[in-house]
Structures are given as structure tokens and as C-alpha cells.
Amino acid sequence: MDNQAKKTALRGISYGLYVIGTKVGDDVNAFTGNWVTQTSFTPPLVAIGVKKGTNSSEGIHESGVFSVNVLETGQQDLATAFFKPMSRVGNKFGDIEFSTHTTGSPILSDALSWFECKVVHEYSEGDHVIYIGEVIDAGVNREGKPLTLQETGMYYGG
């Protein structure tokens, strides 16, 4: 296989950019991710890819829950804020406010919309764990166009 062709072709997959959260014991954690797709309508399932060995991946594995915060076009700064580990202070990561709903995973107050999931299956053969979650709660904060990875000029894939 031509390694450069593999990279280019895989970077042809289009993505959004999300803040994915989880519950870690009595704490919460969140990271920026783009490997997200729905995989079933009934029940509503989504698959996410999470880097193996990270606090977030271990948190999702332990708690069995995660949230996906859909960001709005223009909210790149909100996405990149979670490139580095963010400690919770009360109901904030820095100055970024969140709340919790059904699973205890963080829901960002400024996200366009969000859904939270209960893990029903995981597959961990690669360098990322694939968590398949059933959507058990969801909310919409406002109408808007979602942030895409393409808009940011960044990529994660290849």
C-alpha cells in the first residue's frame, strides 16, 4: 500500500469537530475529537474513536458514558481549548461553563446542541478505542450551522 495515498484518501473523510466529555469518578473530563459517526437509528447509536491510554478513554471505559457537544461554525476556540487537559473548577473548565444532565458527562453551555450516550460496545484493537454508545439524552441550545473540521484547516486522520 502506498502510505501517502492512504493518508490522502483517509483525509478525504469529512468531519465535524466536537467536545466529547465523560464522567471520571466524581470528576468530569472533556477532549476535542472528530472521529464521530451515527451508526443506527433504532436504537440511536453513535461510534467514536478515542486515543487509547488517555484519561478520557479510561474515563469512558470506567464510567460507561460520554457526551458529544456539537459546536457552531466559528467556535474553533472552544474546540481548541480542549486540546490541553482542562481541570474542572465547580461547573467550569477555566471560563467555559458546563452542566450535567442524565449521565453526569459535561454539557457545554455554549454548544449548539449535545447528546449523551451509554456505552453498549467497545473495540480496542487499534491505537484508539472505538466506543459505541446508545444516545439516551439530547438537547438543542439554538439553531445554527455546525463547525466542521475543514473550516478549521486542521485534520486528524490519515
Stretch that binds its own copies, among 24-32, 54-62, 84-92, 111-119 (CB under 8 A): 111-119
- Per the document, the length of the chain is 158
Three cell numbers written together for 112: 449548539
Q: Is there binding between residue 153 and its own copies (CB under 8 A)?
A: no
Q: What is the DSSP string of 54-88?
A: SHHHHHHHHH-EEEEEEPBTT-HHHHHGGGS---E
Q: CA 7 to CA 72: how far, in whole Å? A: 27
Q: Is there binding between residue 94 and its own copies (CB under 8 A)?
A: no
Rounded least distance, CB 76 to its own copies, Å:
14
Q: Given candidates 28, 31, 49, 81, which one binds its own copies under the rule CB under 8 A?
A: 49
Beta bridge partners of 30: 21
The residue ranges that bind its own copies (CB under 8 A) are 1-2, 5-6, 8-10, 12-16, 35-47, 49, 68, 70, 112-115, 120-121, 123, 125-128, 130, 132, 135-140, 146-150, 157-158
